[in-house]
Amino acid sequence: MIVIENINKSDNSLKEACVAIGNFDGIHQGHKSLIEETIVISKKKNLVPTILTFDPMPEEHFNSNGFFRLMDMYDKYKAFESFGIEQVITIPFDKKFSELTKDLFIENILVKKLMTKHLVVGYDFKFGNKRLGDVNLLKLHRDKGIFDLSVLDLVTVSGEKVSSRDIRKLINKGNIRDANKLMAAPFSLSGKVIHGEKRGRELGYPTANIEIYNSYPINGIFLVSILFEDKKLYGLASWGNKPTFSGEDHVLEVNIFNFESDIYNKYLKIIFIDKIRDQIKFNDKNELIEQMHEDKKLAENLLGKSYEL
């Protein structure tokens, strides 16, 4: 699969393509429908199955309240490739791009640069400056013979609409399991292990402190799996402001089961499996240690039931 992250500077000579457009954050059932339709049409018409996506995403550019990514670009690219996508065009959604008119988006991006012969979008797709472009405008271009168009209907799961926004709400509420079921890959974060206060070691539960740059409105104790080099490990993650102690900084700390290696400055991928409980402010360290024992028992019990990851 080819990934082009700057189409303006790309030397690639793009071939005629069937293009699906979207953020594809989390790659839920609605996204899968777009991707699968793109693959089917590409095979039928001998076109290159292509994804047009954005990094940063529009919500990041406009600083949308409560927004956080469900999936990093690496996992997104892996998922695209697993479906059979052959080409991904990633456009930075910045001030200049946000001001691009709906007509120029079609003419310059879709037609001239991407060689779009068939376009696949969702029923509510909007584009161009101030989101003034919609499927009705795309249909006008289709009727002029500029490209063919497939507009997919709303996708539901158990009668409910599926959207990245709704998945974020599930994660915010701590409903990690249901959120993960709706995505192509479970919710995860990657970061470098940095030095912390070493308080976990004093409590008998040494933790890896993970450097996280973005803000996430999430807190609690979570059952997680950890990918480190070629190893898959398990543990408990504490994500929040450590209410028993400072109660200030929002940090992610991971206690890795049966693991004692020095991993400072190494990168870990933390995959969230389930929420164990909310963060609690304890009266003293002994209460906290007792609760940590219970948390680990519950986590091991869940893992002992062949937990589906």
| Cα distances (angstroms) measured from residue 270 to each of 67, 71, 82, 192, 194 | 19, 12, 21, 11, 15
What average pLDDT does the segment 265-290 reach?
A: 92
Task: Please state whether the predicted TM-score (pTM) of the whole model is above 0.85.
Answer: yes
Residue 62 lies in a domain: yes
148 and 237, same structural domain? Answer: no
- Amino acid 66: pLDDT: 76
Residue 183 lies in a domain: no
Residue 178 lies in a domain: no
229 and 129, same structural domain? Answer: no
9 and 123, same structural domain? Answer: yes
What average pLDDT does the segment 148-152 reach?
A: 99
155 and 23, same structural domain? Answer: yes
pLDDT tens digits, one per residue of 36-45: 999 999 999 9
Sheet holding 2-4, edge to edge: 2-4, 87-91, 48-54, 17-21, 116-122, 148-152
Provide the number of structural domains found in the chain. Answer: 2
Residue 170 lies in a domain: no
117 and 38, same structural domain? Answer: yes
Which band of pLDDT confidence, cut at 50, 70 and 90, is reported for residue 12? Answer: low
CA separation for the pair 46, 176 (Å, rounded): 40
What residue type is 190 in one-letter code?
S
Residue 80 lies in a domain: yes
224 and 149, same structural domain? Answer: no
Residue 220 lies in a domain: yes
CATH number for 151: 3.40.50.620
Residue 181 lies in a domain: no
Which band of pLDDT confidence, cut at 50, 70 and 90, is reported for residue 305? Answer: low
Domain end call among 144, 161, 178: 161
Structural domain span for residue 209: 188-304
- Amino acid 308: pLDDT: 47
